[in-house]
Amino acid sequence: MNLKKALRKHAKAIWLIVGLLILLAVGFVDYVTGSLLSLSALYLVPIVLLSWFVGLWAGLLALVLTVLDLFASEFLALAPGHHSLLPFLNAVLELLLFLAAVALTTSLRKTLERERSYARTDHLTGALNARAFEEVAEREMGRTGRNGRPFTVAFADLDNFKAVNDRFGHATGDAVLQAVAGVVMQSVRSSDAFARLGGDEFALLLPECDGNAAPFVLTRLHRHLQEAVRAQGWPVTLSVGAVTFERPPSSYTAMLKRVDQLMYEAKRDGKNSFRHVTEKGG
């Protein structure tokens, strides 16, 4: 596990070394074969690898090194005292080819990353969507099962949200949801997971947050959210249910059901309230 984490952490550095080694190997073979065999196309391999796995700057670095190498090879191949523009023309053509490869590769990479982000993100609020939250929660449940460290899950529902849509329109309703999500995402840690599960329902997972810390953290967050919506004059409040699991629950569905139950208990208590319990899980 530690090795996997180290590889992920230093993945770009590893790919940079691998790409430059491939570039060096291609350059060496190209030098040995000389004019007998053109290996220009093989230079695309390290250029594309570095552009994809490291980034635009690495692809451009490989491109510059490649063009310099090819230009030097062709220039040195000229007969002594013979001058020609051919090496310069070839270098320019190869530069254009490699630039196109770098541009295409980085564009495809950005498109893929954007599509992956859309697949995991709620388009309106920027929070995680239900599917992504389930993945994060199951991963955290597994971690808790291994190391015994607790985690807390909170489920929040906006009170009177339908009335806001009916009175002010759906544009205002969307603004409410965006404001709530913005406050939460600015307030939580980078290791926390916040999601919009649908409609006006939100979930928050706090890794390694025990039963003592959870009420403090969530009460403060609840207060910040109330201040934000009150400042806009929106007649909405929040009902929040939260459970700290000292052991992982039997399933994601069981976890969500328990937290959802507490949220509805908070609503029955008069709305705009917060309920929290600590459970062993299992």
Mean pLDDT throughout 84-94? 69
Check residue 281 and give its pLDDT: 55
Check residue 38 and give its pLDDT: 65
Check residue 7 and give its pLDDT: 65
Q: Give the ranges where the chain is alpha helix by DSSP (H).
A: 2-9, 11-33, 44-53, 56-77, 86-120, 130-147, 161-168, 170-187, 213-231, 252-268
Is residue 168 within 8 A of residue 180, CB to CB? The reply is: no
Check residue 276 and give its pLDDT: 93
Q: What are phi and psi of 14, to 5 degrees?
A: -65, -45
Query: Percent of the chain scored above 70 by pLDDT?
Result: 89
The residue that leads in pLDDT, 37 or 44, is 44
Q: What are phi and psi of 276, to 5 degrees?
A: -140, 140
Q: What are phi and psi of 274, to 5 degrees?
A: -135, 130
Closest C-alpha to 149, from 215, 255, 214, 246: 246
Per-residue pLDDT band for 200 (boundaries 50, 70, 90) equals very high
Per-residue pLDDT band for 178 (boundaries 50, 70, 90) equals very high
Query: Percent of the chain scored above 90 by pLDDT?
Result: 41
Per-residue pLDDT band for 34 (boundaries 50, 70, 90) equals low
Evaluate if residue 83 carries a pLDDT over 80: no
Partners of 201 in the β-ladder: 157, 198
Range among 91-105, 191-205, 219-233 with highest mean pLDDT value = 191-205
Task: Give the mean pLDDT of the chain.
Answer: 85
Q: Is 279 exposed, middle or buried (0-12, 13-18, 19+ CB in 10 A)?
A: middle
Q: Is 117 exposed, middle or buried (0-12, 13-18, 19+ CB in 10 A)?
A: exposed
- DSSP result, 45-74: HHHHHHHHHT-HHHHHHHHHHHHHHHHHHH
- 35 DSSP 8-state letter: G
The residue that leads in pLDDT, 194 or 146, is 194
Whether 210 sits among the annotated catalytic residues: the reply is: no
The residue that leads in pLDDT, 3 or 137, is 137
Evaluate if residue 28 carries a pLDDT over 90: no
Evaluate if residue 58 carries a pLDDT over 70: yes
Evaluate if residue 161 carries a pLDDT over 60: yes
Is residue 170 within 8 A of residue 178, CB to CB? The reply is: no
Instruction: Identify the helix (H) or strand (E) that includes residue 206.
Output: strand 201-207
Check residue 35 and give its pLDDT: 59
Evaluate if residue 82 carries a pLDDT over 90: no
20-29, 87-96, 157-166, 209-218, range with the lowest pLDDT: 87-96
Choosing from 192, 200, 210, 269, the catalytic residue is: 200
Evaluate if residue 205 carries a pLDDT over 70: yes
Check residue 89 and give its pLDDT: 74
Per-residue pLDDT band for 115 (boundaries 50, 70, 90) equals confident
Evaluate if residue 125 carries a pLDDT over 90: yes
With a threshold of 0.75, does the pTM exceed it?
no
Check residue 183 and give its pLDDT: 93
Domains and CATH numbers, the chain: 2-120 (no CATH), 130-279 (3.30.70.270)
